[in-house]
Amino acid sequence: MSVTVTPIKMIRQLPEMLAKNFTYLLYGATPHEALVIDPTWEMQKLEMELAARHLNLKAILVTHGHQDHTNLVQPLVKRYGCDVWMAEADIQAFSFSCDNLHPIAAEAPFFAAGTLVKPWLTPGHTMGCVSYQIDDNFFTGDTLFIEGCGMCFGKGSDPRLLFHSLQRMKANLPLFTKIFPAHSYGHPPGKEFSFVMQNNVYLSFDAEDAFVSYRMREGQTRLFDFK
């Protein structure tokens, strides 16, 4: 049985151009212990939250290897001695290393800071994208946004793999699941999957070729408009 973790603290980090980065702080499963997902940019904000709640950072979950999801991992490990989970594929692809690193190569659940974490391997945006299911919450990194899905260009990107990752979510996620992506492009994180299904055009595709054609279409004037 999973342990309910409340609350989820959404820490808005420095925006990258049009995007809004979110780092997620979870606590409550074990007294005074916390885990963080995709810690980036502003360490002071995270440390202020930890201090205000008298929390010790015990674990970091990384959704993929891009710098805007990993750049605080090593400083936090050095400061707190916490454990880190990240997909083996992106550890290799991005030559990532830090102490206490646990490669994810399969989808076996594990405990982090007393919290039961169920990893989903969701490649496409990168080969090693991982989404994390914790209770009725789903942390999707750059695989799925409320408004769209991740871009597919550069090393390790594959729109066909992304299509199948999204199809798997459609087939298996309960509609009441709350979706927490790493960026916001209009809608706040935490919307139920039913809302995302109704409002995200990329989830309307059932045919792989049609999805790939649309995701990779030419003439996108702004990459984050999605439609």
pLDDT tens digits for range 80-108: 999 999 999 999 999 999 999 999 999 99
pLDDT tens digits for range 192-227: 999 999 999 999 999 999 999 999 988 776 666 676
Pick the closest to residue 80 from 111, 116, 113, 128 (CA basis): 113
> Tokens 């692809």 identify what position?
93
Pick the closest to residue 149 from 73, 202, 205 (CA basis): 202
Domain boundaries, the chain: 8-215
Report the C-alpha gap between 66 and 44 in whole angstroms: 21
* Residue 2: per-residue pLDDT: 35
Report the C-alpha gap between 201 and 86 in whole angstroms: 29
Question: At 63, which amino acid appears?
Answer: T
* Residue 174: per-residue pLDDT: 97
Whether the CB-CB separation of 163 and 123 falls below 8 Å is answered with no
Q: Would you write out the chain's pLDDT as a tens digit for each of its 227 residues?
A: 233 444 566 555 555 545 578 899 998 888 899 999 999 888 888 999 899 999 999 999 999 988 888 999 999 999 999 999 999 999 999 999 999 999 999 999 999 999 999 999 999 999 999 999 999 999 999 999 999 999 998 878 999 999 999 999 999 999 999 999 999 888 999 999 999 999 999 999 999 999 999 999 887 766 666 76
What class has domain 8-215? Answer: alpha beta
Report the C-alpha gap between 23 and 144 in whole angstroms: 15
Whether the CB-CB separation of 165 and 205 falls below 8 Å is answered with no
Whether the CB-CB separation of 77 and 100 falls below 8 Å is answered with yes
